[in-house]
Amino acid sequence: MRIQGRVLIIAGSDSGGGAGIQADIKAVSALGAFAATAITALTAQNTMGVHGVHPVPPDFLRQQLEVVQADIGADCFKTGMLHDAEVIRVVADFLDRTAGDTPLVVDPVMVSQTGASLLQSSSVQALVELLLPRATLMTPNLPEAETLLQKEIPDADAMPEAARALQAMTGGAVLLKGGHLPGNDLVDVFADGEELRLYRHQRIDTRHTHGTGCTLASAISAGLAQGMPLERAVSRGRAYLLEAIRQAPGLGQGGGPVNHLHTVDQAAIERLR
């Protein structure tokens, strides 16, 4: 596989390997791009939940960003868990100074799949004011969108209006994910200020969906880093994620990880044995 495109991922680490930086690296690599990282926090977690969070000092986060950008560079930036307002300010300042026209994908990570808080509530305004206006694409799930809009999104019929409102808030494109709604008929809504597109799919019957938000945002980031138009990157990212869920390895006692490496050529692996 030829490596094309560089993604600098700014997010927290997941010791269980299913979400966060670990999921980001796997997704970007599995789609043929190069993943570099700046880690915002260390978490002790597994499929059962987040058991501890250890923030990285802001000055060290800044150093990670600057040394990677100065040497390797980036064709797309992707943010995940940012933890607090000071981290958001460091990232926003870095992007102001160095990003130029480089695409930015913001996954506004606020709460883990098991309910642990990953963004301090006092930091939401900093996210809205400092980072979201820079985003090429934001990828909120429904609880995150409700927090940002400060209103309930009760069903799929309310999602298009919510996606338009989020797009107007940020100025960039929005992919509003509907996986938190009940039922088997799911929809994600894409809005970019000109077009509204609905992506429909059937729920996959599995509990192994840990890290799907991180995985999707990183898969889209890989496409943007490779020069894809935004809608093509979104479509490929969704197709990659759905197959990763279908092929989940079934690890752990709770919500397990997906199979990020389903794109890897098994025949090539066998030749190395």
Residues 64, 52 contacting (CB under 8 angstroms): no
Domain count of the fold of the chain: 1
DSSP states of 111-131 as a string?
B-TTS-B-B-GGGHHHIIIII
Reference 1, options 224, 268, 273; nearest CA is 268
Where the chain has pLDDT below 50, the residues are: 115, 117
Q: Kindly list the catalytic residues.
A: 177, 209, 211-214
Q: Is 185 a domain residue?
A: no
Q: Looking at residue 129, what is its pLDDT?
A: 92
Q: Report the predicted TM-score, pTM, of the whole model to 2 decimal places.
A: 0.95
Q: Is 152 a domain residue?
A: no
Q: Is 171 a domain residue?
A: no
Q: Is 142 a domain residue?
A: no
CATH number of the domain residue 232 falls in: 3.40.1190.20
Q: What is the pLDDT of residues 127-174, one digit of tens each?
A: 999 999 999 999 999 999 998 999 999 999 999 999 999 999 889 999
Residues 181, 142 contacting (CB under 8 angstroms): yes
Q: Is 224 a domain residue?
A: yes
Q: Given the structure tokens 């596989």, which residue do they identify?
A: 1
Angle between helices 230-246 and 212-225 (to 10 degrees): 140
Q: What is the pLDDT of residues 228-249, one digit of tens each?
A: 999 999 999 999 999 999 999 9
Q: What is the mean pLDDT of the chain?
A: 93
Q: Is 263 a domain residue?
A: no
Parent domain of 119: 6-136+206-256
Q: Looking at residue 113, what is its pLDDT?
A: 57
Six token digits for residue 253: 């006692």
